[in-house]
Structure 1
Amino acid sequence: MKILLLAGIVLASLVSCKSKPEESKPMQTQPQDTLAIQVQGHRGERGNLPENSIPAFLGALRKGVDVLELDVVISKDKQVVVSHEPVMLPLYMLTPEGDSIANEDSQKYNLYTMGYAEIKEFDGGSKGNVRFPKQQKMKTYKPLLSEVFDTVAATITKENLQPVTFNIEIKSVPEAYDLFQPQPEAFVTLVMQVIQNKNMQEQVNVQSFDPAILEVMHTKYPEIELAYLVGENTYEENKKNLSFTPEIYSPYFKLLNPDEVATIRNDGLKVIPWTVNEPEDIKQIIALKVDAIITDYPERVLKALKQE
């Protein structure tokens, strides 16, 4: 019973990592000078294609994003799997037989206890996602990070597209250590092995909500650009959670206003908010002159930037 309760807590924490917390004071706008804002496709382009899938990454790539944002977890056989959750989330996953997964059964499909061959059999696209009604339904699967690197590189070459970089989130919460994920040092090592094997050190940054992950990255791999993801509180409060200053501060977008952006920049950090989807929100965030915008609808941000 204790394990089941903990699993529920961990799942709720991980699933809600990028949901909207309570809104802070309203954002203000300011005049534009020049724009150099990157567009990051969140989980590829989740608003249009199944999240964290090869089709979604290629769709965002072809639309002209600068960065592909994705999440990684670890399988039983120590493979780095692209997935936002360490379980098969009933919201959009189907079993290999095409059946829905009951909410109370999701913890039975703990990716950390499943080999990748088994994980790949589950369908992450045919059911669709009710939160994104325009998302195209198609049968797809959770790919390996190495496959994403290889497929994107091959597509860029074949179709003569502009290169992109990768914003890789290590999905980690302390309650999940040794249950749904490795300990932070082991987790980081597995992810970095893929990055190094594919010689992608200069084409990635690593982000996490878990300070322990970022501390390991900073100590062992100082050459990798790091982003601290946050969903609540101010920058001044959150920076106390780290023993060092990362290159990027990545808050929920409603936490930003001109004063907050100025405070962050005074410490020399880039500002990259998540997840900005609605046209009016996109316009307000552009006015704050952030460094990049993470979005489920990259075409909306690209259009807004072109208009500006």
Structure 2
Amino acid sequence: MSTAQKDSLNIQVQGHRGERGNLPENSIPAFLGALRKGVDVLELDVVISKDQQVVVSHEPVMLPLYMLTPEGDSIATEDAEKYNLYTMDYAKIKQFDGGSKGNVRFPQQQKMKTYKPLLSEVFETVAATIKAESLKPVKFNIEIKSVPEEYDVFQPQPEAFVALVMQVIQKHTMEAQVNVQSFDPAILEVMHKNYPDIELAYLVGENSYAENKTNLTFQPEIYSPYFKLLDATEVAQIRKDGLKVIPWTVNEPEDIEQVIALEVDAIITDYPERVLEQLK
């Protein structure tokens, strides 16, 4: 694809969990890092604490892969579920360190002491930084991490979960600046019914668009598949129904190039600088 063709494409860049390739995932430093690089959207995940706070975290437990206890100790793999965030108040959750250990899957990730922030803190800190540094505004792609077998164990029921997340979004008047995504059709059904004005994305990790779309009773605005599920035919099918196509998580230069060639609407990546570079 020529430079002129790339310029004519309006592909948004979404920083996955901030910029997980470079800074601790789902942390304030990672969101600000991605923001300063010029992403269009900050992608993040939310779970719920015992005291009903909306916590930015990909897992509802303290994942041994990158989390340390407040004392700075590693967590044994078999002990992860003892640290169920849904059974812990946020004041306790915040004491755990999500950055000093690093992440072996992302060797260039900078090690630093950090914590799981609240969604409200992310909104407030990003807004303050945009204002202070005259940066371009960003949107937020918020994933509600939900698994049916974990209802009432690691998370609330869908109705309650959605209501808690929407309280924070509405309190910060962010309705127009967010979309909500989930792998769990039940979450999307509740969102669609109770908050019809919020843009929704259906996340999928397997099967074709034709199969997956039958899991919902309505058509969301965005279809968000694992990038390897896409080819030109699949993109054409999704486009025919009028949905945006936003694949995840595209990190390697050759994969980024292939996905750009499919003319998707946005690319979710752990390395925003790589996608921004290729789009230039």
Aligned match of 1:51? 25
Percent identity between the aligned chains?
A: 84
Aligned match of 1:204? 178
Corresponding residue pairs, total: 276
Alpha-carbon distance, 1:198 to partner: 0.4
Alpha-carbon distance, 1:224 to partner: 0.1
1:25-72 Cα shifts (integer Å, max 9, x gaps): xxxxxx947210000000000000000000000000000000000000
Aligned match of 2:108? 134
| 1:146-157 to 2 correspondences below 5 Å | 146-157=120-131
Of 86, 89, 93, which aligns to 1:115?
89
| 1:166-245 to 2 correspondences below 5 Å | 166-245=140-219
Alignment of 1:259 with 2:237, yes or no, is no
The amino acid of 2:263's aligned partner reads K
Please give the TM-score of this superposition, normalised by the length of structure 1.
0.89
Alignment of 1:79 with 2:53, yes or no, is yes
Gaps of 5+ in 2: none
The amino acid of 1:244's aligned partner reads F
CA distance in 2, matches of 1:265, 1:224: 20
Secondary structure in 1 matching 2:267: strand
The amino acid of 2:208's aligned partner reads T
CA distance in 1, matches of 2:198, 2:31: 22
8 A contact 1:124–1:140 mirrored in 2: yes
CA distance in 1, matches of 2:67, 2:88: 15
Gaps of 5+ in 1: 1-30
The amino acid of 1:173's aligned partner reads V
Aligned match of 1:17? none
CA distance in 2, matches of 1:35, 1:251: 20
CA distance in 2, matches of 1:73, 1:172: 8
The amino acid of 2:260's aligned partner reads I
1:117-167 Cα shifts (integer Å, max 9, x gaps): 000000000000000000000000000000000000000000000000000
CA distance in 1, matches of 2:173, 2:121: 14
Aligned match of 1:14? none
Alignment of 1:281 with 2:262, yes or no, is no
Alignment of 1:296 with 2:279, yes or no, is no
Cα RMSD (Å):
0.8
CA distance in 1, matches of 2:61, 2:246: 27
Of 18, 37, 46, which aligns to 1:63?
37
